[in-house]
Amino acid sequence: MSMTRIVDPRNVPGRQNPVTLARQGNQKHLPMADSLTLRRSPPLCYGFGESKGNAMSSELADLQQQIQRRRTFAIISHPDAGKTTLTEKLLLLGGAIRLAGSVKAKKSKKFATSDWMELEKQRGISVSTSVMNFDYRNFACNLLDTPGHQDFSEDTYRTLAAADAAIMLIDGAKGVEPQTIKLFEVCKIRQIPIFTFVNKMDRDARDPFDLMDEIERVLGIQTYPMTWPISSGERFKGVIERKTRMVHFFQGRNTSLETPAQLISLGDSQQLSALIPAADLESTLEGLEMVDAAGNEFSEESFLRGEISPVFFGSAMTNFGVRAFLESFLNMCPGPSSKGSNAGPIEPMSEKFSGFIFKIQANMDPKHRDRIAFLRIVSGVYETGLMVNHSRLGREIKLTQPQQFFAQERTASDRAYAGDIVGIYDPGLFAIGDSLSEQQKIEFEGIPQFAPEHFGVVRTSSALKRKQLLKGLLQLCQEGTVQMFVDESRAASDPILAAVGVLQFDVLLFRLRNEYNVDCSLDVLPYKHARWTNCSEDDIAAARAKTDATVVRDLSGNALFLFRNDFNISYFQETCPSISLFRSNAKLKGNMMRSASAFFDE
């Protein structure tokens, strides 16, 4: 007799662990908390036997099981909030690395695993998104470590197009910072669930109620604390997990290896009193009681819409509260989601393969000078040799063997599933935003570019390196390192380069020197703003005659006006009121980025 057994992921063999066993027999749970665990991960299906009457074939059951294991998420934060450190600790818990290295540890030559570029090692900051695939228990994780600096926010935006959820890191002492606000708005556009991790609780931090109030007031999202901190700074003793009513008590401050937590029932007052100072314990329990009585109620629907954020407290540097966070996060995080396209939403369980390119990176391996396209699989299975439609080129191509990522390192994989992030060797066929599909011609919602604010021209003193320079500029612009515009009134060999942040130019010059062996300098141009337009050529000619705006073209042939200051934009709009100006190219590409257009346009 053929049958299919539905198994909750938490009960799959191998999922049990000392932490789970220690929690059995604890005091009563919160009414809300029971529903959280029950709905976090869709049940996995294991098929036994096959028959013609089977509603689900073993192949389809395996596909469903594999897809439901996937968790694809990004980490966002203001610079120095501890984002890359948290990434390292998640990898440590997942067994992907044995020793975590801080991005600040330059003297000992230890660097963060996700910061693989030489420039990242020298400066101790992340300048490019890194992708890391690792397993944790029954989950296959695709972690996207994004740059925190605002100068690289465009790269972060592209990355969030491939994520199903985001972890927002908050510095416990500083609270919500400017770049956090900007990145949160990007998440809001994408309408993805947002988890909040309040970091650096091992340092003197603000009151948890003040932090949550600021998150709600500044970001406009409700909060629901999943854990509650026991003091902060030198007195920080761990966190209380509200669902299980267990205290995760920490001792020691190991920054490279995991610090094991001692689990104590919240009802064991004698043991808690022996370990935690009376004043700190009393204050913590009072705060917990207030949260239980007057805090927000958790709603699954609101969470999935990005309207309420589960909040966790801990210290990534010293491994306090990180495992408790990871356990809850993976159970709560939604699996692969559907993506909008010209054919309607594409569901991950669709049998036919589809996906889109959200990032391109050249010279990840300096020995081979190869170029890799980062592909988010939306539906089906990716296998070597699969023939797919390339929507932009309008022809079929054969896919190479998928590459799994671990920052700079890559390993070949036999197959990959919906939700996975894989690498494809790119011989020059791919561009950011390209859609690939096995059956029909599908175009997923595009990944727009945003108006730059810094402009310049790169020059080299060596005429012999001119060709090499142009090759490097073209490849780096195709990656999205900077944007390239052509001014028809200037020499075509001197394209205008543009960036959202000035540090993008530093990355460009560094990579031209290190990867293309071209020493060059940047001549800064006096422009401050760029705006795309969809007006006619006659209108462009008329505007050029009436104003001093400079007309340029991007690599797709779209027209832009460059302005020197705010006054020039205002004068242009008064002089040419019929010409529309846009702060992104979303409306020009027909890529259905309606929300992005509304957010970024004038």
Taking the C-alpha atoms of residue 278 and residue 258, their distance in angstroms, rounded to an integer, is 27
3-state secondary structure of 499: strand
Residue 583 corresponds to which amino acid?
R
Q: What is the 3-state secondary structure (H, E, C) of 246-300?
A: EEEEECCCCCCCCCCEEEEECCCHHHHHHHCCHHHHHHHHHHHHHHHHHCCCCCH
User: Could you give the CA distance from residue 564 to residue 552 in angstroms, rounded to a whole number?
Assistant: 14
Q: State the virtual CA torsion across 321, 324, 327, 331 in degrees, nearest 10.
A: -110
Q: What is d(CA 102, CA 111) in angstroms, rounded to the nearest whole number?
A: 6
Judged by DSSP in three states, 549 sits in coil
Render 395-419 in DSSP notation, one character per residue: EEEE----EEEETTEEEE-SEEETT
How far, in Å, CA of 520 to CA of 258, rounded?
45
- The DSSP line for 88-133 is HHHHHHTTS-SS---TT-TTTT---TT--SHHHHHHTS--S-EEEE
SS3 602: coil
Query: Contact 564/547 with Cβ under 8 angstroms?
Result: no
Dist CA 70 CA 418 (whole Å): 8
Burial 72-100 (b: 16+ CB within 10 A, else e): bbbbbbbbbbbbbbbbbbbbbbbebbeeb
| Residues 562 and 527: beta-carbon distance below 8 Å | yes
Taking CA atoms, 156 is separated from 27, 68, 160, 363, in Å, by 42, 25, 6, 20
Do 388 and 400 form a contact (C-beta atoms < 8 A)?
no
For residues 514 and 501, give the distance between their C-alpha atoms in angstroms, rounded to a whole number.
21
Comparing CA positions, the residue from 106, 129, 104, 107 lying closest to residue 116 is 129
Question: Distance between CA atoms of 357 and 338, rounded to whole angstroms?
Answer: 16
- Residue 488 DSSP code: T
DSSP letter at 428 equals S
Distance between CA atoms of residues 561 and 548, nearest Å: 10
Please state, in angstroms and rounded to a whole number, the distance separating the CA atoms of residues 350 and 348.
5
Q: Look up the CATH number of domain 63-332.
A: 3.40.50.300
pLDDT at res. 148: 63
First-to-final CA distance of the chain: 64
How far apart (Å, rounded) are the C-alpha atoms in residues 224 and 240? 14
What pLDDT score was predicted for residue 438? Answer: 92
Tokens 């985001």: give the residue.
Answer: 166
CATH number for the domain running over 454-600: 3.30.70.3280
Give mean pLDDT in consecutive 10-residue pieces for the chain, a chain of 602 residues: 35 37 36 36 37 61 90 89 86 72 41 48 60 90 81 80 94 90 81 94 94 96 96 92 92 68 91 93 95 92 94 91 91 93 91 93 73 93 92 91 72 89 91 90 85 93 88 90 87 84 90 91 95 94 94 92 96 96 76 36 42
What residue spans define the domains of the chain? 63-332, 354-437, 454-600
Helices and strands (H and E) in the chain: how many: 18, 30
CA 525 to CA 195: how far, in whole Å? 41
Q: Any idea what DSSP says for residue 502?
A: T
> Which residues, listed in sequence order, are joined to residue 529 by a DSSP beta bridge?
563
Question: In which residue are the tokens 């910072």 written?
Answer: 177
CA angle 43, 45, 50 (to 5 degrees): 165
d(CA 231, CA 242): 16
pTM: 0.81
Residues 296, 288: Cα–Cα separation, whole Å = 13
Task: List C-alpha distances in Å: 117 to 111, 121, 366.
Answer: 10, 6, 11
φ, ψ dihedrals at 575, nearest 5°: -80, -35
| The amino acid at 259 | T
Check residue 131 and give its pLDDT.
86
Q: What is the pLDDT of residue 382?
A: 93
Residue 5's alpha-carbon distances to 47, 61, 138, 363, in angstroms, are 7, 10, 17, 47
Fold of 354-437: Elongation Factor Tu (Ef-tu); domain 3 (2.40.30)
386 by DSSP, 3-state: which?
Answer: coil
